[in-house]
Amino acid sequence: MDTSKLLENLKSNQYNINLGGLEITISDSIVVMWMIMIVIIALAYVLTRNLKPIPEGKQIAAEYIVETINSFFKQTIGHHWKPFAPYLGTILIFLVFANTVSLFNIIPSGELLYSLTHFEIFKHFHFHVSPPTKDINITAALAVMSIFLVIGSGIIIKGPIAFLKSFFEPLWIMLPFKILDYFSRPLSLCMRLFGNVFAAYVLMELIYMIFPLIIPAIFSIYFDLFDGGLQAFIFVFLTSIYISETVE
């Protein structure tokens, strides 16, 4: 068993797109994110089409999802939950899809396609549907969005002066630690999500290399479904805890 094959799998493709003189690099994780976006937008469209006052069929499912998310944030954020529930719910749904997307890795490898069809395009085609959150850039972006939401909610709901005062709240000596909090929180949010998803992805790749059949399915229940769902939940839960700490 060699590690070079594992490293080959971990490498992400980079596509360069030229937009009128502007060079844009698009990685595999962005492409997977686009796929997830298509699925979520299609689901949202299908589930919310012709809503009725008395719910039936798929509307019950949609209302159940929204009600669950709302009641969860009512519990964690407190009575300022209303403006945050749509954003945090969106992040939760996106992360649940993003962390468990490797279950749908049904695209065959380039060599297999080439040996079957003998098309030249497939020869250098390495595309895996891997979780986009195993890319540290995406989790960093999500964490920065979360911390901006926390700071913004403090400024808007408490008012700028009361927010600045909260830095000196129990004692003025706490000031450096309170400032440090706003750097260590996004760092730990980013690293927690990235580390968990990446570690699960590497372990699953190793298991696929050793036992290609049946046994990965058992591990996949833990690493893809349970861990992915739990990490998505933890990310949103910690963000809402930070918001409730700032707002109260």
Partner 1 sequence: MDQGLIAIAAAIAVFTGAGAGIGIGIGTSKAVEAVSRQPEASSKILMVTILGLALAEATAIYGLVIAFLLYGKLL
Contacting positions for partner 1 (CB under 8 A): 7, 75-76, 188, 191-192, 194-196, 198-199, 230, 233-234, 237-238, 241
Three-state SS for 66-119 is HHHHHHHHHHHHCCCCCCCHHHHHHHHHHHHHHHCHHHHCCCCCHHHHHHHHCC
Q: Which of these, 48, 78, 49, 81, lies nearest to 65 by C-alpha position?
A: 48
Tokens of 207: 């298991």
Count Cα neighbours of 93 within 13 Å in the Cβ-side half-sphere.
18
Place of tokens 């964490």: 143
- Tally of CB atoms within 10 A around 24: 10
Decide whether 177 or 211 has the Cβ nearer to partner 1. 177
Q: With DSSP H G I counted as helix, E B as strand and the rest as coil, what are the percentages for the chain, rounded to 5?
A: 75, 5, 20
Decide whether 3 or 117 has the Cβ nearer to partner 1. 3
Distance in Å, CB of 237 to partner 1, minimum? 7
Distance in Å, CB of 32 to partner 1, minimum? 21
DSSP 8-state class, residue 84: T
Report whether 93 contacts 39 (CB < 8 A).
no
Report whether 247 contacts 157 (CB < 8 A).
yes
Distance in Å, CB of 75 to partner 1, minimum? 8
Distance in Å, CB of 6 to partner 1, minimum? 12
Decide whether 100 or 244 has the Cβ nearer to partner 1. 244
Distance in Å, CB of 17 to partner 1, minimum? 27
In the chain, the amino acid numbered 76 is T
Distance in Å, CB of 82 to partner 1, minimum? 20
Distance in Å, CB of 199 to partner 1, minimum? 6
Decide whether 110 or 195 has the Cβ nearer to partner 1. 195
* Cα(186)–Cα(182) distance, integer angstroms: 7
Q: Which of these, 152, 22, 44, 141, lies nearest to 89 by C-alpha position?
A: 44
Decide whether 7 or 22 has the Cβ nearer to partner 1. 7
* Cα(155)–Cα(247) distance, integer angstroms: 9
Decide whether 87 or 233 has the Cβ nearer to partner 1. 233
Decide whether 122 or 246 has the Cβ nearer to partner 1. 246
